[in-house]
Amino acid sequence: MIHTFHARNYGCLVDTEATLTPLHAFIGPNDSGKSTLLHGMRTVVQFAGSRFQQDDERRWTPFDPYFPAQPPSHEPPRDPHGILLECGVDGGWYAIKTGPRGLEERAGEQRSNDWSAGYEPSTTPRHWEALSKLSQSNGRWDRQILRQLRQARLVRFDPDALREPSGLIPETQPVGFLDDRGHGLAGIYFAIRNRNDDAFSRIVDDVRRHFPTIKGLRVKAVTSSKVVLEVELVNGARVEAGRLSEGLLYYLAFAALRYLDPVSLLLVEEPENGLHPARIAEVVRILRAIVEESGTQVLMATHSPLVVNELKPDEVSVVTRTPEEGTRVKRIKDTPDFEARSQVYALGELWIAYANGEDEAPLLEGTEP
């Protein structure tokens, strides 16, 4: 699990630190850096467990890591301090850097003697000078650290993507979405039904409870290799995915997350989108169950006080941004007068009551709104 995350010169994260819990939410104004925090954590986990490559159109896969290309050698570096992404995990820490040669030695000197001064090159394009730093045990790399960073999944579901027909997932392949937006949902449900019929039945029972007009859920073949979702209503009518409500599609996507192949880090952007307020609490319960059942760490960026109401004080951090300092992160329980205010307000209500949507000064400085 990632306990702490630090980013330097990564997008709007000039010099940003965050303390995390197994289930954690970032709240704050628009354009404060919440999504950039999630993207930075996904990037460092991708480096730890795999690599970035360029396709024929010179796009980065599996996603854009936001690392800028360095200028030609005859020009000075665009940033003399380089980019740093690092995270503290159980038993150690892991980091990647880009920048001029020689910065790695200075970074090593900042650490205690308990940590390795050695560096292991990452699998990066040649114009990135990226370095990995791991704790050592008896002169060998501690792979326990890398196992905590084996894979990340980011979702920002889009109803049009969730409606699309999808291919079948072979038994030998892991079950997961094809991209961040949620393409492949129908294929995922086909796999869930075939590999774990009890899981499929549990999801259908939950759907019936939360959507009383629905009798059943089907995965319908439209070609020999493509399937779509379809629901049967209590009146016998059948509705294909193209006509399903956005709220139901979002709910089905979150319900499926619980049964995908586990990852070490699940990143969720605005889980409240498209959901009725009564469904938001259920989605947060699903995310908490993922943490408890699979050990996956779940981090969210949200604008919903209803999401925040389902969390504990140490599970919420306020994110703000200024032109001078960039993005700053502060746990809501560390804000002034929190104990007194929390006696009056639920957690999400406290945020809304003392938020101005710009710098959150009433909340962070202990002033009245």
- Tokens at 99, concatenated: 């920048």
Q: Is residue 176 part of a domain?
A: yes
Within-domain flag for 143: yes
pLDDT tens, residue by residue, 294-337? 999 999 999 999 999 999 999 999 999 998 889 999 999 999 99
Q: d(Cα 49, Cα 218) in Å, to the nearest integer? A: 35
Q: Is position 291 within any domain?
A: no
Domain boundary among 261, 289, 305: 261
Q: Which DSSP category does 333 fall into?
A: G
The vertex-195 CA angle with 192 and 200, nearest 5°, equals 40
Mean pLDDT of the chain: 85
Containing structural domain, residue 86: 2-20+33-149+316-331+353-364
Q: What is the pLDDT of residue 81?
A: 65
Which amino acid belongs to residue 28?
Answer: G
Q: Which residue has the higher pLDDT, 143 or 361?
A: 361
Do 6 and 130 have their domain in common?
A: yes
Say if 277 falls within a structural domain: no
pLDDT of residue 149: 87
In the Cβ-directed half-sphere of 229, how many Cα atoms lie within 13 Å?
32
Using pLDDT thresholds of 50, 70 and 90, give the confidence band for residue 96. Answer: confident
Residue 287 lies in a domain: no
Give tens-digit pLDDT for 8-32. Answer: 999 899 999 999 999 999 999 999 9
- Report the pLDDT value the prediction gives residue 99, as an integer from 0 to 100: 60
Same domain, 125 and 248: no
Q: How far apart are CA 18 and CA 330, in angstroms?
A: 7
Beta carbons within 8 Å of 85's beta carbon, 6+ residues apart: 5, 6, 7, 8, 10, 40, 41, 43, 44, 95, 96, 97
pLDDT band at 155 (very low <50, low <70, confident <90, very high): very high
What pLDDT was estimated at residue 324? 86
52 shares its domain with 91: yes
**Per-residue pLDDT reduced to its tens digit, 97-122:** 776 443 333 333 333 323 332 333 33
pLDDT value for 66: 79
- What 3-state DSSP class applies to 69? coil
| pLDDT tens digits along 239-278 | 998 999 999 999 999 999 999 999 999 999 999 999 999 9
In this structure, the answer to whether residues 129 and 165 fall within a common structural domain is no
- Share of residues in the chain with pLDDT > 90 (%): 67
Instruction: Give the residue-averaged pLDDT of 74-90.
Output: 69
CA atoms of 260 and 45, how far apart (whole Å): 18
Do both 113 and 182 map to the same domain?
A: no
Domain count, the chain: 2
> What pLDDT does 142 receive?
61
118 and 15, same structural domain?
yes
Mean pLDDT of 159-183: 94
The token pair that represents 274 in the structure block: 């498209």
122 shares a domain with 254? no
Residue 270 lies in a domain: no
Same domain as 109, residue 10: yes
> Do residues 140 and 177 both lie within one domain?
no
Centroid of chain to Cα 312:
19
Residue at 246 is within a domain: yes
Report the share of the chain in percent with pLDDT over 70: 84
- What is the residue whose two structure tokens read 């999944």? 153
Last residue of a domain, one of 222, 243, 261: 261
201 shares a domain with 124: no
Q: Give yes or no: residues 104 and 214 share one domain.
A: no
Domain boundary among 231, 261, 291: 261
Pairing mode, strands 152-155 and 265-269:
parallel
Query: In this model, does residue 125 exceed pLDDT 80?
Result: no
Query: For 162-186, what is the HEC assignment?
Result: HHCCEECCCCCCCCCCCCCCCCCHH
Shortest CA distance to 363 belongs to which of 325, 333, 326, 324?
333
Q: Where are the beta strands (DSSP E) in the chain?
A: 2-10, 13-19, 23-27, 53-54, 60-61, 83-89, 92-98, 120-121, 131-132, 136-137, 140-141, 152-155, 166-167, 214-221, 226-233, 238-240, 265-269, 297-301, 316-322, 326-331
Residues 84 and 143 occupy one common structural domain: yes
The token pair at 215 is 């009798």
Answer whether residue 93 is part of any domain: yes
Q: What is the pLDDT of residue 367?
A: 82
